[in-house]
Structure 1
Amino acid sequence: MATKLDEIRVAAQRVAASHGLDVVDVELAGPAKERVLRVFLEKNAEGRARLRAEIAAGLEGLPERLVEGKLSVEQLSGVTHEDCAEFSRDFGVLLDVEDLVPGDEFTLEASSPGLDRKLTKPEEFQRFKGCLVKVQTFEPVRNNRHWRGRLLAGSGTNIALDLAATQQNSKSRKAGVNTVEIALDNVEKAELIPEI
């Protein structure tokens, strides 16, 4: 099944690229007759740059928090309902033609990754530097597996969190440090914390 999911991800990226989008993640979940194929999309780097230019030009109709600077372009995927509908239409045809999803019955869902998006790739940790994140590790770091803080840096092999940026749980407070460094290969799960 993992191989099939990789093939689906590659096909999804091909279709997404033709619409100026990037695939953030692909999930295939549920029992055989109720399977859901979820594709999380965002504007590609060019699309995000265009959104920055629209903000700088003062264009009307942009999200208020984005214009006010309370939300960064990097946090906002920039994907519209129309983007998802066009992608779904084209990708659905490709899935049927290439018979990429095993079995006959599944539901295709396309959406943005949301403000609390998962971070999985080293370049995502670099891109979202300065954002609030919560991280769960495989192995404890300073006797704790759950951390919350502002992402200071991502070196490719490690990330650093500023713990003073958020309220910590009791284990984190007992660690008695303001920053923590975590190896990327020890990160079980990481996601952004929305700042609204």
Structure 2
Amino acid sequence: MTEFAQGAHDLMRTIETAVEGLGYAFVEAVWVGGGLLRVTIDRTDDAALNVDDCERVSRQLQYALEVDGVDYHRLEVSSPGLDRLLRTPQDFQRFAGELVDVTLRAPFQGRKKYRGVLQQPLEGDATQAVVWDEALLAELAASKPGAKKPAPRKVGVAKPAAPSRVAHELRFSMAEVREVRLVPVIDFRGRKS
């Protein structure tokens, strides 16, 4: 291992130890231009990550990085976001049942992008599966806030056929995928009583 690679490995280990020591999950750390070290964390429970969590981890990392003599100008600690990337087997397990966008490295049946519901991984199976139903996806798209409502039909014009309710399954290995991302589901209508 080169000296640079060893230094990067040690840095990641320092960050991971500090983050996990506070009870959070370490997602990734990247150097961005201008000396910015961006650290992404998440909660280990199903609660949402908030600003106080990020501040707590940021303070701990400042001490840990200073002790290790890491030269950085700015530190940014944030959540993976609503459209987070799924990278690890634990991510696929945790987000089974959620709507995801899958982008393949090479086209399958003439396309690279698929949207569907992530299935629970099978025990001992190295592949993941996404199931989609074109009619369900059309309904989801129409129900999004701000989505265009269909134009009123003119009298005498035939109604287009409804999409069939046929579920399709896409099985893939991580080597076949460029990225898998959660589809953000945001409800701007407010809380329901």
Specify the SS of the correspondent of 2:14. Answer: helix
Distance 1:121-1:96 versus aligned 2 partners, 3 A rule: same
Shift of 1:157: 1.7
User: Secondary structure at the residue paired with 1:99?
Assistant: coil
> Match for 2:112: what amino acid?
R
Q: Deviations over 1:111-163 (max 9, x none)?
A: 11111111011221121100011111112222321111110133452111112
Q: Does 1:185 align with 2:175?
A: yes
* Between 139-148 and 124-133, the greater mean CA deviation after superposition: 139-148
Closer, same or farther: CA 36–149 of 1 in aligned 2, 3 Å: same
Q: Distance in 2 between matches of 1:128 and 1:4?
A: 33
Are the aligned partners of 2:38 and 2:76 in contact in 1 as well (CA < 8 Å)? yes
Give the Cα–Cα distance (whole angstroms) in 1 for the partners of residues 25 and 73 of structure 2: 22
Q: How does 1:30-179 map to 2 (within 5 A)?
A: 30=33, 34-44=34-44, 48=45, 73=46, 78-100=48-70, 104-155=71-122, 156-164=125-133, 165-167=136-138, 178-179=168-169
Give the letter aligned to residue 66 of structure 2: D
Inter-CA distance 135–40: structure 2 relative to 1 (3 Å threshold) = same
> Partners in 2 of 1:191 and 1:2 — Cα distance?
28
SS at match of 2:120: strand
Residue 130 of structure 1 aligns to a residue whose secondary structure is coil
Give the 3 Å change call, closer, same or farther, for CA 6–144 of structure 1 in structure 2.
farther
1:8 pairs with 2:11: yes
Q: Tell me which residue corresponds to 2:155.
A: none
Gaps of 5+ in 2: 141-162, 187-193
Tell me the percent identity: 27
Q: Cα offset for 1:109?
A: 0.5
More helix by share: 1
| Cα RMSD for the two superposed structures | 2.4
Which of 1 and 2 has greater Rg?
2
Rate the CA distance shift 1:35–1:143 in 2: closer, same or farther, 3 A: farther
Contact 1:132/1:148 (8 A) holds in 2: yes
**Separation (CA, whole Å) in 2 of partners of 1:26 and 1:143:** 35
Q: 1:185, CA displacement in angstroms?
A: 1.5
> Which residue is equivalent to 2:144?
none
- Find the residue that maps to 2:60 and give its secondary structure: helix
Matched AA of 1:19: L
**Contact 2:102 2:114 survives alignment (8 Å):** yes
Counterpart secondary structure, 2:119: strand
8 Å CA contact 1:39–1:109 kept in 2: the answer is yes
Distance 2:185 2:16 in 1: 29
What TM-score, normalized by structure 1, do the two folds share? Answer: 0.69
How far 1:105 sits from its partner (Å)?
A: 4.3
